[in-house]
Structure 1
């Protein structure tokens, strides 16, 4: 059983880590471009570099967390994130700017959800599902809190001063990481479960198919998340909203994320992770369809932000819980580290790709691209649920007839 203290520490950690690193360029990107005199491609290219670094080091980080736990690794990530923010605040040249983002890329892989999920799987094993959902609740409010906070700090101290404050906040999260337990959950081996294959104990083709579908869903989701995190405000402004209104509407994404996660925590324990994954992917196409009307209807713009937030919020939970029902949790960090690597690498191009799509085809082009990708994730989630729900449920102590715990 994972202690409440652990969940609270990781939840607060995620709240600060997402707000000060991943959402940084979404809040300050335009200000940085104007101040530095660089193109948007260069500014958002720094964030793309960080995502690429996350992908390159993902397998290694997963193995290290499996071996040593999340305590020291995540604390080191806090220090690196603070150094990366300080580097950004001091940057006046491209080498310094991109070096700072390189450091932030390492820091993000050691601090964000995937590191926390691996730490929880190591501590709690298959019982980590509820804790994984709980820590995403405050994390989902990061954009809601940090985009307005960043705007206020930038108005008072400039974007450099705001990022300097972010460095201090990240450094303050190190004690939260050091409060995590060191011990690993030790379960008796399950004879029918392969150490690196689907928990259903099927042939290698099942392992490959499950891994491909999971990797496809997470890759597209991370691409969309990177694009929306860096460009949602710009898309809303391009659709016709004033800057202030666009920031306010974009913060509803966080409300949608945490609202959906709260509902999952309260009522979703009887829903199989693969069914929840399908529900999450079903919300995204509806959200992007609403986005097309965002320029003529404030309600549609709000539904776009809330709907995308809800779908992405649930998908973040399932990114952590689906591997618990498909793969051996004792190798959770290693397996997910490998499967998530493509998602970070592909999403590295999202900020620049979205910026160029907006420049060439406008905000409607960006929404059309997002809609197509959302439909792809929906199809993959449907296949994953149809193929693996019954066997994964049986291996995890969940009845495939009624979805309840045995």
Structure 2
């Protein structure tokens, strides 16, 4: 049973987990490069290594949550994340730095949305769709909360102190994850006492394989954009013409865009199909990056870009969790989705490094055009998923 208290607790856990791990590089990456004397690409390589570990461990973590529930996995992830952040704060060599990110990468796979979605699907089955959307409301404010915290602590005491503060938050979130129940959803037994009706697929094998491939493609492309913007949005806005201070505070508005879009979905999206929501999210991403080409015109244009990106990314986060419930058996959610999203972590691992190279060599405008291409491909795949759903109906 997924009650309101559980949704609030898991939501707060997501707020912390995203803020202290995934979004760390976006606010502290520049200070790390300056302090360590490394290139931005080398610093982003640590984050990429963490995302690579997320991809390699994804099938294993998905099976573990499906078999044992989210409590143990997510609690362990919080403590592992705290340990990785402590290691990061004390890193002076490349070996130590990358080792810390490898630890943080495992923690991210054990604590972020994909783990939470699998835990909720195990508890609530197909009815977990609403809960998945609701926990993202708090998680969407992660950058809004933790980018200013990281910037303030980093400015006053250095990035190492900021990493230690984040480690403390991660350790505290373990107390939240300890409250996740280990129960498993069981279909209601018919009144005549017969066995529950098993999941009946409504797609052919070919359609199921195509839907799985398109879902994996959308997840991979949106994840690449998310990781790239998490690492480079502030720098891109500065490169497009904003001052650094304005870029930091404008970038934090992505959290408002994410949460506003997710809030609309929670309030008004009960009748929207996941495929339609996914299509709208991809369209917002394309529109947002198109607007980014005009950021030099002023802060107002930058705000529109950030809010559109936040809204599109926020809705994509929801559909990443709910699309599998529309096409596949909820009983196998953890293991199936764990396999399908593994490529998304691999592509998102390459994105920060790739974007760093593009920005350093060709500038921020080239990175915007690259983003338009990736978002456009995600939009095409979203149209494909919608076509499969319409053929079924």
Report the aligned-residue RMSD.
Answer: 1.0
Residue of structure 2 in register with 1:403 after alignment: none
- In structure 1, C-alpha distance between the alignment counterparts of 2:70 and 2:117, rounded to whole Å: 9
Residue of structure 2 in register with 1:179 after alignment: 179
What are the equivalent positions in structure 2 for 1:5-404 lying under 5 Å apart?
5-187=5-187, 189-191=196-198, 193=200, 199-200=201-202, 202-389=203-390, 391=392
- In structure 2, C-alpha distance between the alignment counterparts of 1:119 and 1:179, rounded to whole Å: 12
- In structure 1, C-alpha distance between the alignment counterparts of 2:40 and 2:361, rounded to whole Å: 14
- In structure 2, C-alpha distance between the alignment counterparts of 1:190 and 1:328, rounded to whole Å: 12
- In structure 2, C-alpha distance between the alignment counterparts of 1:80 and 1:247, rounded to whole Å: 29
Residue of structure 2 in register with 1:394 after alignment: none
Q: Mark the runs of 5 or more structure 2 residues left unpaired by the alignment.
A: 189-195
Q: Mark the runs of 5 or more structure 1 residues left unpaired by the alignment.
A: 194-198, 392-399, 401-406
**Could you tell me whether the CA contact under 8 Å between 2:242 and 2:298 is conserved in 1?**
no
- In structure 2, C-alpha distance between the alignment counterparts of 1:57 and 1:389, rounded to whole Å: 34
Q: CA deviation at 1:63?
A: 0.3
- In structure 2, C-alpha distance between the alignment counterparts of 1:389 and 1:166, rounded to whole Å: 45
- In structure 1, C-alpha distance between the alignment counterparts of 2:198 and 2:219, rounded to whole Å: 29
**Could you tell me whether the CA contact under 8 Å between 1:272 and 1:389 is conserved in 2?**
no
Residue of structure 1 in register with 2:193 after alignment: none
SS state at 2:295 partner: coil
SS state at 2:127 partner: helix
**Could you tell me whether the CA contact under 8 Å between 1:154 and 1:161 is conserved in 2?**
yes
Q: CA deviation at 1:190?
A: 3.8
- In structure 1, C-alpha distance between the alignment counterparts of 2:106 and 2:340, rounded to whole Å: 17
Aligned CA distance change for structure 1 residues 341 and 268 (closer, same or farther; 3 Å)? same
Q: CA deviation at 1:134?
A: 0.6
Do residues 2 (structure 1) and 2 (structure 2) align? yes
- In structure 2, C-alpha distance between the alignment counterparts of 1:269 and 1:214, rounded to whole Å: 21
Q: Deviations over 1:258-286 (max 9, x none)?
A: 00000000001110111111111111111
Runs of 4+ in 1 over 4 A off after TM superposition: none
**Could you tell me whether the CA contact under 8 Å between 1:274 and 1:389 is conserved in 2?**
no
- In structure 2, C-alpha distance between the alignment counterparts of 1:87 and 1:190, rounded to whole Å: 50
Q: Deviations over 1:314-368 (max 9, x none)?
A: 0000000000111111110000000000000111111110001111211110000
- In structure 1, C-alpha distance between the alignment counterparts of 2:265 and 2:140, rounded to whole Å: 13
SS state at 1:109 partner: helix
Give the TM-score, by structure 1 length: 0.94
- In structure 2, C-alpha distance between the alignment counterparts of 1:90 and 1:78, rounded to whole Å: 19
- In structure 1, C-alpha distance between the alignment counterparts of 2:142 and 2:252, rounded to whole Å: 9
Give the TM-score, by structure 2 length: 0.97
SS state at 1:19 partner: helix
